[in-house]
Amino acid sequence: MEIVSQNRAFDGVQTVYRHPSNTCGCEMTFAVFMPPQSEDGPVPVLWYLSGLTCTHENAMVKGGFQEHAAREGLAIVFPDTSPRGDGVADDEAYDLGQGAGFYVNATRDPWRTHYRMYDYVTSELRSLVTENLQVNGAHGITGHSMGGHGALTIALRNAEMFESVSAFAPIANPTQSDWGRKQFSSYLGDDESAWSLHDSTILLEEHGWKGDILIDQGASDQFLELLRPEALAAAMAKRRQPGLVRMQKGYDHSYYFVNTFAGDHVEWHSQRLNGTRH
């Protein structure tokens, strides 16, 4: 891992790394905040997956997570949202191609060569982080929009890898939304049975989650029809899944919304990762 930048923040260290990725077949960049507690020993990890058009940098700069993570003693990992580079397939639309990996392993050309973000997050990057940084085995995952979709689906499919999961305005039912159907048909093909592995509403109905779930959704979000939070809430109620779906009055889809509730989510994960929940 090559260090791109490193800055002191809240007595911890915010670092951006670059590394060659065998999974994605290109160079990948990600960011990690290490809290001051990591100087004394390994700390738990919170993974934050970003949304459409984002890189590792958006949440790192705009999310306001570092102060809360420093207080709670959590490392935070900010992966990129897709493979990138001149040789990586792309599309003119903002919601397909680079910046829009949707956290799946593409099976169709021209995407399948590089677009393997599911394996990248769950295997390659996880190994890099756990083998090279002062982190322990307690991992939580969260994300915003497309990243909320990624956080929920990855956690629901890999319950043994994560102790906690939450999301900010997730794309909650992508098989029934234009934010999902378009990308899944491009990346995975027309067989909709393959899509269900990447739909948190379907996964929750079928498998549930071992703990509780926290979802924050802006009630004034301009993309509510695409996000379909009501589908996930209904699935939680039907399965009697412990958790909270909070509709936050007046909030939209922006990072102002994420920043406002970042502290709640970091504290929520900390209680489950550090064993301080009462």
Residue ranges of domains in the chain: 2-274
Backbone angles phi, psi at 153, to 5 degrees: -70, -40
In the prediction, which pLDDT does 276 show?
A: 66
- Distance separating alpha carbons of residues 119 and 123, to the nearest angstrom: 5
* Residue 252: active-site member: no
Give the CA distances from residue 119 to residues 66, 102, 153, in Å, rounded to whole numbers and listed in that order: 26, 12, 13
- Cross-strand pairs, 116: 105
In the prediction, which pLDDT does 169 show?
A: 98
CA angle 196, 183, 215 (to 5 degrees): 60
Per the listing, tokens 């169709």 go with 108
- Which residue among 80, 199, 216, 221 is the active-site one? 221
Other beta carbons within 10 angstroms of residue 181's beta carbon come to 14
In the prediction, which pLDDT does 278 show?
A: 46
* Residue 21: active-site member: no
Angle between helices 200-207 and 146-157 (to 10 degrees): 20
In the prediction, which pLDDT does 104 show?
A: 98
**Host H or E run for residue 27:** strand 26-34
- Distance separating alpha carbons of residues 140 and 151, to the nearest angstrom: 9
Cβ-Cβ contacts under 8 Å for 240 (sequence gap 6 or more): none
Pairing type for strands 135-143 and 43-49 reads parallel
- Which residue among 68, 114, 139, 253 is the active-site one? 253
- Cross-strand pairs, 134: none
- Distance separating alpha carbons of residues 103 and 106, to the nearest angstrom: 9
* Residue 221: active-site member: yes
Topology, domain 2-274: Rossmann fold (3.40.50)
- Which residue among 38, 50, 82, 145 is the active-site one? 145
Tens of pLDDT, residue by residue over 132-188, are 999 999 999 999 999 999 999 999 999 999 999 999 999 999 999 999 999 999 999
Angle between helices 229-239 and 200-207 (to 10 degrees): 0
- Cross-strand pairs, 166: 214
In the prediction, which pLDDT does 119 show?
A: 98
Please tell me whether the overall predicted TM-score, pTM, comes out greater than 0.95 for this model.
yes
The residues of the chain scoring below 70 in pLDDT are 276-278
In the prediction, which pLDDT does 275 show?
A: 79
